[in-house]
């Protein structure tokens, strides 16, 4: 890997790493979402520094070029991100349903107590 590409990849990986840490520190990103981002940036950093590992991984999966392996890795990352958001969305949907039901029950209790007091 040419030095300019290596430096660009290292700087990009470190920028992502520090950006995610800063977002968590400022409470703009929750810790539960940061794990996948931090893990990905660390894997990127390691594969750039240890380029031989990327070449070996490329051979293991049978890809033609290391860039193909990185592209596959980015697709896997996006799939994992989608699954993480789907899980969170499912939990939030259940919470909204439960809150709506509790709200309806409380409203019915209030209306029945108002009817009794009249």
For residues 73 and 42, is the Cβ–Cβ distance under 8 A? Answer: no
In whole angstroms, give the CA distance from residue 39 to residue 81: 12
In whole angstroms, give the CA distance from residue 112 to residue 118: 10
| Higher per-residue confidence, 104 vs 2 | 104
Give residue-wise pLDDT tens across range 43-69.
988 988 888 999 999 999 999 998 889
Model pLDDT, residue 19: 92
In whole angstroms, give the CA distance from residue 114 to residue 5: 72
For residues 44 and 54, is the Cβ–Cβ distance under 8 A? Answer: no
Model pLDDT, residue 89: 94
- The reply to whether the predicted model has a pTM over 0.85 is no
């Amino acid at each position: 890997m040419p030095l300019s590409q290596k430096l660009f990849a290292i700087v990009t990986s470190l920028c992502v790493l520090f950006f995610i840490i800063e977002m968590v520190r400022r409470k703009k990103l929750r810790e539960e979402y940061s794990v996948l981002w931090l893990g990905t940036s660390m894997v990127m950093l390691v594969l750039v520094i240890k380029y031989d590992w990327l070449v070996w991984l490329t051979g293991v999966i049978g890809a033609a070029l290391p860039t193909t392996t990185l592209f596959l890795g980015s697709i896997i990352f996006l799939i994992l991100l989608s699954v993480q958001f789907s899980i969170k969305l499912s939990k939030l949907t259940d919470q909204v349903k439960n809150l709506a039901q509790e709200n309806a029950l409380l409203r019915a209790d209030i209306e029945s107590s108002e009817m009794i007091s009249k």
